[in-house]
A and B are shown apart, each in its own frame.
Chain A
Amino acid sequence: MPAPPAPRPPPATVDATLDLLTAQDYVADRRLATAVFLALKLGRPLFLEGEAGVGKTEIAKVLAAGLARPLVRLQCYEGLDTAAAVYEWNYPRQMIEIRLAEAAGGVAREALAHDIFTRAFLLKRPLLQAIDPDDGAPPVLLIDELDRTDEPFEAYLLEVLSDFQVSIPELGVVRAQVPPVVVITSNRTREIHDAIKRRCLYHWVDYPDALSELAIVRRKCPRAPERLAREVVAFTQRLRSMDLFKAPGVAETLDWAEALIALDRVALDPQTVADTIGVLLKYQDDVGALTPDVAAKIVADVQAEGIRL
């Protein structure tokens, strides 16, 4: 097995951070690069909040690739507990161990209890993996959609995030030799407790402006004709200024561009928009608000004016 590449040192300046993100095909604005740079430099978790589909999760992936570190991902959900997030004991193995000890006879209880609660019987879940990686390389830990979990888990996370350590009653405290790079994302379906935020660097990931979004489409969908790319971006940008229940994110823009490429379109027309709008808008009310007239008007507008700056 080839050895994993040695982790690269974190970038030394904001410009270097920007380069690192760009090299991984992530078009970041300078503010985001600054937040990332600070998180790496000060060793603080980076707390990213923003609407769905603006590229929050992607930042962690890009960082892992750019720094040549493994990515450990913890997807949050309601009722997430330590057994799923931190560690669990390997019960079948423990049971076999007990049986074996009994078969051999002369079991000393204390010794047995000591034997089956050791690292060999420990199953590491994402948080423990990030703190105590098997190969020693500090990973990038992505705690995704923290707003989906509940308050007890947030409270647990406090210990992990402030000291980068995990207490296991049977084993003691496991501390990170080198703290992992932590990225936390939230879609803001509820407010995260201030105590968590206080330990992090906060960054609100906004929808990109038209030029950045165009750059993203060019990078991520290189097959898109230039005219199509411009029109797609201009169209989504205008949709976002409408009063919608859920405005399309960058992920939707890219999906839409891909969909239009698959349909061999080189430019927008009202009929195509109507046929493919489900890629952009995911609520029936929003689809209903974009009547053929409105859609046709936006298309005409987009083709006359192009990208609005």
Chain B
Amino acid sequence: MIGPGPRGGAMLLPRGRLAENVLYFVRVLRAVGLPVGPAKVIDAIAAVEAVGVAHRTDFREALAAVLVSRHEHLVLFEQAFDLFWRNPKHLEKLVAAQLPRVLGRTGEEAPPLDLPARLAQAMLPPKAPEARADDEDEVDLDAAFTFSPREILQQKDFATMTAEELAQVKAMLARLTLPLPERPQRRTRAARRGARVDLRATMRAMTGAAGAVAPLAYRARTRRPPPLVVLCDISGSMDRYARMLLHFLHAITNDRHRVHTLVFGTRLTNITRHLRHRDVDVALERVAAAVDDWAGGTRIGACMAEFNRRWSRRLLGQNAAVLLISDGLDADAGVGLAFEVERLAKSCARLIWLNPLLRYPGFEARPAGIRAILPYVDEFLPVHNVASLTDISAALEVRRPRNARRTTSDAWLPAA
């Protein structure tokens, strides 16, 4: 058996076919999207050497223990493993055909690299400051007039905006922050005055001033905003808003930590990781690729059920607040919805419903879906323009005892 060997890249290859194959296998894993760093290759070879190759399961588990770090990657790993270690030749062909860039097999004339259009345009001689296809009609904002158009835009409904107004709103949203009320944490920090005496700091001060009276140092609780979970409806009826809302979601997801974003239409998709990219266009591109029920039907009940089952325990800890963005128009006519929304409301500290339909003065909660959700929400707010989005933060600031819920929402229920 070969020992760990000297540190360095040169140690990798002389170990013969096995090391080479592990290296190759890691590349396959990367190609299918597992985040496997270079250091993992060395670990994987060490692990494989430690267990030997006598047992297939041992070998497989050794690789899995090193190369997989998320439960959801396990299935991908297993498929790749079965395929790869059964007949590497077969896979080689398969991979070479599908992933020429990763393996460097086909060289320059390989299928065109999927360069983002904006990157490609960045290489070209400067044509115009705006380089995105969807923003072609963007107008240059005259700084002198920025203020008043913005005021108007803030009040304007997303659904009635022109393309250029939308572009301006996007820019506005990119700067939006969401000041959630901060809550005291269990952790403490040094403070001028606080509830507890910081014995450690006091003691240090005392050793510096032996004999004299030592001042007490204090610690106070740190405060930080609670986690936020956003559930955004992207069905057909929300289509016009959804695009704006995604910009909004991108802004608040990257504004701070502990924001999780899921979208739903007919099925639920967690897009937090996709939205994390700093560049809003890249982020939305990734979201578009990840979500496949854009502008379709809505099955709010089923999606809430899935959220409750799969995500609520993972995301709703530590006094999380939930922002539900939906018009409440449900294809299943609210079947099973009330039950799931009640459960959702009980698992989070606050349930805030943002509904674009609220802009209509005579709005009444007639549709079954809306009636099912309303009794359980803590806040019910419009979300059809920028001003309403910024109002959200004000609503979140209000501290209302939990048993006082429904005060805002009861007003919308039609008189019996």
Residues of A within 8 A of B (CB): 14, 30-31, 34-35, 37-39, 41-42, 44, 47, 49, 78-79, 81, 89, 91, 94-95, 98, 101-102, 107, 109, 112-113, 116, 150-152, 188-191, 194, 197-198, 200-204, 243, 245, 285
Contacts and interface: CB of A to CB of B under 8 A. Distances in A.
A198 B185 CA distance: 28
B65 A98 contact: no
B313 interface: yes
Contacts of A285: 343
Given A14-B55, A34-B57, A34-B65, A204 B313 contact: no
Given A31-B57, A202-B64, 15 more contacts: A31-B61, A34-B61, A91-B200, A91-B203, A101-B210, A151-B257, A152-B187, A189-B314, A190-B317, A194-B35, A197-B70, A198-B40, A202-B65, A203-B64, A204-B71
A41 B37 CA distance: 21
A245 B58 contact: no
Contacts of B66: 38, 201
Contacts of B64: 31, 202-203
Interface string B30-67: 00000101011001001100110001011011101110
Nearest to A47: B69
Given A78-B186, A198-B69, A203-B65, A89 B203 contact: yes
A47 B64 CA distance: 12
A113 B208 CA distance: 7
B65 A38 contact: yes
B383 interface: no
B308 to A, nearest CB: 7
Interface string B364-394: 0000000000000000000000000000000
Contact of A112 (B65, B207, B318): B207
Contact of A94 (B62, B74, B185, B203): B203
B69 A79 contact: no
Interface of B: 35, 37, 39-40, 43, 46-47, 50-51, 55, 57-58, 60-62, 64-66, 68-71, 74, 185-188, 199-200, 203-204, 206-208, 210-211, 257, 308-309, 313-315, 317-318, 343
Nearest to A109: B210
A293 to B, nearest CB: 20
Nearest to B200: A89
Contacts of A116: 203, 207
Contacts of B68: 202
Contacts of A151: 257
Contacts, number: 112
A37 B59 CA distance: 12
B62 A38 contact: yes
23 contacts: A30-B55, A31-B57, A34-B57, A38-B51, A38-B65, A38-B66, A49-B71, A78-B185, A78-B318, A89-B199, A95-B206, A98-B207, A109-B210, A116-B207, A151-B257, A191-B314, A194-B35, A194-B69, A198-B37, A198-B69, A202-B65, A203-B64, A204-B71
Contacts of A94: 203
Contacts of A49: 71
A187 to B, nearest CB: 8
Nearest to B46: A42
Nearest to A188: B314
Nearest to B313: A189
A37 B50 contact: yes
A91 B207 contact: no
User: What are the 6 tightest A-B residue pairs by CB atom distance, in nearest-first order?
Assistant: A79-B186, A34-B61, A197-B69, A113-B207, A201-B65, A31-B61
Given A101-B210, A116-B207, A81 B65 contact: no
A204 B257 CA distance: 26
Contacts of B62: 34, 38
B199 A91 contact: yes
Contacts of B70: 191, 197, 202
A107 B210 contact: yes
A306 to B, nearest CB: 27
A41 B314 contact: no
Contacts of A203: 61, 64-65
A41 B50 contact: yes
B58 to A, nearest CB: 5
A245 B309 contact: yes
B132 to A, nearest CB: 31
Contact of A38 (B35, B47, B186, B203): B47
B58 A112 contact: no
A190 B320 CA distance: 12
Contacts of A245: 308-309
A113 B214 CA distance: 14
Nearest to B66: A201
A34 B51 contact: yes
Contacts of A198: 37, 39-40, 69
B185 A14 contact: no
Contacts of A31: 57, 60-61, 64
A116 B203 CA distance: 9
A37 to B, nearest CB: 7
